[in-house]
Amino acid sequence: MSPRNPTIDDTAPYPADDEEAALLIADEQDDDDADPVEEAAAPEMAALWDRGGRDTEGLTGAELIQALVKRLPNSPGVYRMMNEAGDVLYVGKARSLKKRVTNYAQGRFHTNRIGRMVRETAAMEFVVTRTEIEALLLEANLIKRLRPRFNVLMRDDKSFPYILITNDGLAPGIFKHRGARSRKGDYFGPFASAGAVGRTINALQRAFLLRSCTDSMFASRTRPCLLYQIKRCSGPCTGEISEAGYAELVSEAKDFLSGRSQKVKGEISAAMQEASQQLDFERAAIYRDRLSALSHVQSHQGINPQSVEEADVFAIHQDGGQSCIEVFFFRTGQNWGNRAYFPKADPALEPAEVLGAFLAQFYDDKPCPRLILLSHAVEDQDLLAQALATRAGRKVTISAPSRGEKKDLVAHALQNAREALGRRLAETSTQAVLLEGIAKAFGLPSAPRRIEVYDNSHIMGTNAVGAMIVAGPEGFAKNQYRKFNIRSESITPGDDFGMMREVMERRFSRLLKEHGEEPPAAAESDDSMPAWPDLVLIDGGQGQMSAVRAILDELGIADKIQAIGVAKGVDRDAGRERFFVRGRDPFTLPPRDPVLYFIQRLRDEAHRFAIGSHRARRKKEMVRNPLDEIAGIGPSRKRALLHHFGTAKAVSRAALADLRSVEGVSESLAKQIYDHFHDNG
């Protein structure tokens, strides 16, 4: 019996006075780790049950679940299944917790995955919600946060870029934005890539002439910049356009990005005709250029549907035990790009099951459009639409079209999913061969599932950064990359060995603290990226390896990790690298060995990441504002000071009375700012 389709109805009431079972939700996690969705639903949730009482001690698997079922209500909620170590195995939602969990207690399962999951279950937690919609939203949030081994998981959760039109007191500007939406303004998107955002912003600047300069530059301008001269900005900084006129441009841009593109184009066209009739050909030419820019936005995007203004299109294709979900984004009748996802899912799951689980997680932290088109109808489709509509505050429609232009859009997405999965399978096959080659070349017991490569970057010891990149069966795992700002004051500037010692000590001390020693292979039977590396590559020779081995010996893990030094060959020629392995003399690989090329790629990627991290840190140091060093000066007060005085240098020269006159700066803070810049005078 599938746990998603319960047939047993046990209406036994939940004993509300069972003090051993009931726990407050607030006790489930620390305030610092509180989840916003769980917090929002908490006042309406009845209780949280955890691990049962004395009657469940020593029970596991179906026996434990049978004991817990007796005290569950016929209410909607979310359940978690955990193993003996406390790791969450599975998170699910139910219209009736009692009915759903009863199916697990029967011991009859359609798939080996569910049977294995039940056998490993040593504890369960349950959260009761008001409605099934709340249960669905909470389930998606917990899956993304806890990443249970037996759930369908999004592998790539990289944030999407958006277009931001600000609204924080200054003349609104148009910017590319990624990350938390902490700045006031209107966000439009998502876009599939930063390149798509950049191209669209460039066209929108020509169409609506909105500023794209920083706030500090805007506040300090005394004459229009180059963008005004080339007709990509209307010059609000120096009053080249009235406030009302600029507000009208901003309103038109928002209308266009909100899906009212035809209305905006009609108004601009009418204004162009009116200017022509009045023989004001210069103004008419401006409107003509704006229309041309808008047409460019809508024409260069490739597929642009005629009957769909705003929609996300999802198509799934399965092959070789893997799934690919291709997502296309359409806004204002434009194709804003597409992205392929490869969720982690049991090969036995049907496409509709994988797609349904993926959708709830996908929209957990993203705005959803009014229309979602699918290649396969999914279970709980109407419920998911209601949940997304509740979150968005407007109607959301989910459908699997069978004809017309919408069906063509889904078919195009499906074709892209099929091709993307084909490319991935080919790459994975090649990667598997290379990993087997590495195991053979370095005497590893099996092909490594996690390779970590380390490198350092600095200029004469300044802004030193250590970098770690990760690779596995699916290529580079960029969400696992880490950088280490070298902090130790005892390291002599330029001491590469000392830097590597600090990086390795911080990395593996934290790994021991968070994950303990490497779990047995049986616990890692799934295809997820393990926490511990099977192989560590160090960009360096015998000196670097001595520093690395000293730290590994000190931590007591030298015999658990295979660490190898990769030194540049004679005359630093690629292809003549020497490898340093404990217990073996330094050796080289054949010049045309594919494994050698693969290691070069790994080393070059680590070098690229290290240099990029170093440059970012150096750039940050170069543009650091002196006001950032003053306690109590946050973004708002810094902005107020810069708006008032123009530059940080002017703030440093300001008199105490002038500082007190700035809005938001108290007398004590003005004294603090003054003393900071005049401590020697």
Question: Which CATH number goes with the domain that contains 83?
Answer: 3.40.1440.10
Quick check: 531 pLDDT over 90?
A: no
Q: Which of 100-109, 294-303, 374-383, 420-429 has the highest mean pLDDT?
A: 374-383
**What tens digit of pLDDT does each residue of 388-432 get?**
998 888 899 999 998 888 899 999 999 999 998 888 888 788 888
- Alpha helices in 491-634, H assignment, sequence order: 496-515, 542-555, 594-622
The span from the CA of 530 to the CA of 168, in Å, is: 44
Q: Read off the pLDDT band of 536 (50, 70, 90).
A: very high
Q: Token pair of 1, please?
A: 């019996």
CB proximity list for 295: less than 8 A, separation 6 or greater: none
Quick check: 548 pLDDT over 90?
A: no
Q: Which of helix, strand or coil describes residue 593?
A: coil
Mean pLDDT of 257-278: 75
Based on the fold, state whether residues 556 and 598 are members of the same structural domain: yes
Rounded to 10°, the helix 61-69/112-120 angle is 80
Q: How far is CA 344 from CA 49, 91, 117, 147, 631, in A?
A: 29, 15, 16, 10, 46
Assign residue 591 the CATH number of its domain: 3.30.420.340
Instruction: Specify if 117 maps to a domain.
Output: yes
Residue with the larger pLDDT of the pair 292 and 482: 482
Instruction: Specify if 410 maps to a domain.
Output: yes
Quick one: which of 132, 118, 129, 104 has its CA closest to 48?
A: 129
Residue 463, Ramachandran bin (φ over 0: left; ψ between -120 and 50: alpha; else beta): left
The span from the CA of 294 to the CA of 71, in Å, is: 62
Q: Read off the pLDDT band of 299 (50, 70, 90).
A: low
**What tens digit of pLDDT does each residue of 580-594 get?**
888 888 888 887 888
| Placement of tokens 């500037």 in the chain | 493
Q: Read off the pLDDT band of 327 (50, 70, 90).
A: very high
Based on the fold, state whether residues 118 and 207 are members of the same structural domain: no
Instruction: Specify if 432 maps to a domain.
Output: no
Mean pLDDT of 220-245: 88
**What tens digit of pLDDT does each residue of 23-51 get?**
222 233 333 344 433 443 333 344 444 44
Q: How much of the chain is in helix, strand and coil states, percent to nearest 5?
A: 45, 15, 35
pLDDT of residue 78: 93
Q: Which of helix, strand or coil describes residue 319?
A: strand
Q: Which of 146, 171, 201 is the last residue of a domain?
A: 146
pLDDT of residue 2: 39
Strand order in the sheet with 174-177: 174-177, 162-166, 185-188
Quick one: which of 206, 159, 366, 416 has its CA closest to 300?
A: 206
Strand-strand pairing, 162-166 and 185-188? antiparallel
DSSP H or E segment with residue 217: helix 215-220
pLDDT of residue 264: 74
**Exposed (0-12), middle (13-18) or buried (19+): which is 660, by Cβ within 10 Å?**
middle
Mean pLDDT of 313-318: 94
Q: Read off the pLDDT band of 374 (50, 70, 90).
A: very high
DSSP H or E segment with residue 442: helix 404-442
Based on the fold, state whether residues 516 and 556 are members of the same structural domain: yes
SS (H, E, C) 262-295: HHHHHHHHHHHHHHHHCCCHHHHHHHHHHHHHHH
Q: How far is CA 332 from CA 86, 258, 396, 442, in A?
A: 47, 7, 16, 55
Instruction: Specify if 213 maps to a domain.
Output: yes
Q: What's the total number of domains in the chain?
A: 5
Based on the fold, state whether residues 277 and 129 are members of the same structural domain: no
Q: How many CB atoms lie within 10 A of CB 166?
A: 20
Intra-chain end-to-end CA distance of the chain, in Å: 82
pLDDT of residue 525: 44
CB proximity list for 111: less than 8 A, separation 6 or greater: 346, 348
Backbone angles phi, psi at 21, to 5 degrees: -90, -40
Quick check: 1 pLDDT over 50?
A: no
Based on the fold, state whether residues 635 and 555 are members of the same structural domain: no
Based on the fold, state whether residues 31 and 99 are members of the same structural domain: yes
Quick one: which of 316, 335, 336 has its CA closest to 326?
A: 316
pLDDT of residue 153: 87
Nearest-10 Cα torsion for 262, 266, 267, 271: 150
Quick one: which of 452, 513, 515 has its CA closest to 484?
A: 452
| CA Rg value for the chain | 30
Contacts within 8 Å (CB) and 24+ apart, 347-353: 347/321, 347/322, 348/111, 348/112, 348/113, 349/152, 351/316, 351/317, 351/318, 351/323, 351/375, 351/376, 352/376, 352/377, 352/378, 352/379, 353/152, 353/378, 353/379
On whether the CB atoms of residues 82 and 124 are closer than 8 A, the answer is yes
The span from the CA of 312 to the CA of 333, in Å, is: 11
Q: Which residues face 49 on adjacent strands? A: 22, 126
Based on the fold, state whether residues 385 and 261 are members of the same structural domain: no
Query: In this predicted structure, which of 11-20, 197-206, 227-236, 253-262 has the lowest mean pLDDT?
Result: 11-20
Quick one: which of 376, 380, 318 has its CA closest to 346?
A: 318
Is the four-CA dihedral 98, 385, 387, 34 of positive or negative sign?
positive
For the chain, how many residues are written?
A: 681
Q: Which of 422, 439, 468 is the last residue of a domain?
A: 422
Quick check: 635 pLDDT over 60?
A: yes
pLDDT of residue 540: 81
Based on the fold, state whether residues 232 and 111 are members of the same structural domain: no
Instruction: Specify if 41 maps to a domain.
Output: yes
Instruction: Specify if 443 maps to a domain.
Output: no
On whether the CB atoms of residues 129 and 135 are closer than 8 A, the answer is yes
Instruction: Specify if 169 maps to a domain.
Output: yes
Assign residue 663 the CATH number of its domain: 1.10.150.20
Q: Token pair of 322, please?
A: 């893997």
Quick check: 183 pLDDT over 70?
A: yes
CA angle 573-577-581, nearest 5°? 165
Instruction: Specify if 475 maps to a domain.
Output: yes
Residue 279, Ramachandran bin (φ over 0: left; ψ between -120 and 50: alpha; else beta): left
Q: Read off the pLDDT band of 286 (50, 70, 90).
A: confident
Residue with the larger pLDDT of the pair 371 and 636: 371
Based on the fold, state whether residues 268 and 331 are members of the same structural domain: no
Residue with the larger pLDDT of the pair 268 and 153: 153
Based on the fold, state whether residues 513 and 601 are members of the same structural domain: yes
Based on the fold, state whether residues 481 and 593 are members of the same structural domain: yes
Percent of the chain residues past pLDDT 70, beyond the cut: 82
Based on the fold, state whether residues 643 and 563 are members of the same structural domain: no
The span from the CA of 91 to the CA of 295, in Å, is: 47
Query: In this predicted structure, which of 37-46, 253-262, 290-299 has the lowest mean pLDDT?
Result: 37-46
Q: How far is CA 135 from CA 23, 380, 494, in A?
A: 18, 12, 55
The one-letter code for the residue type at 119 is R
**Domain membership of residue 613 as a residue range:** 451-620
Rounded to 10°, the helix 496-515/542-555 angle is 30
Q: Which residues face 340 on adjacent strands? A: 326
The span from the CA of 463 to the CA of 472, in Å, is: 30
**What tens digit of pLDDT does each residue of 617-633 get?**
777 665 566 777 777 78
Q: Read off the pLDDT band of 324 (50, 70, 90).
A: very high
pLDDT of residue 413: 92
Quick one: which of 183, 145, 146 has its CA closest to 163?
A: 183
The span from the CA of 58 to the CA of 674, in Å, is: 67
On whether the CB atoms of residues 376 and 355 are closer than 8 A, the answer is yes
User: pTM for the complete prediction?
Assistant: 0.66
Q: Which of helix, strand or coil describes residue 116?
A: helix
Q: Which of 116, 146, 176 is the last residue of a domain?
A: 146
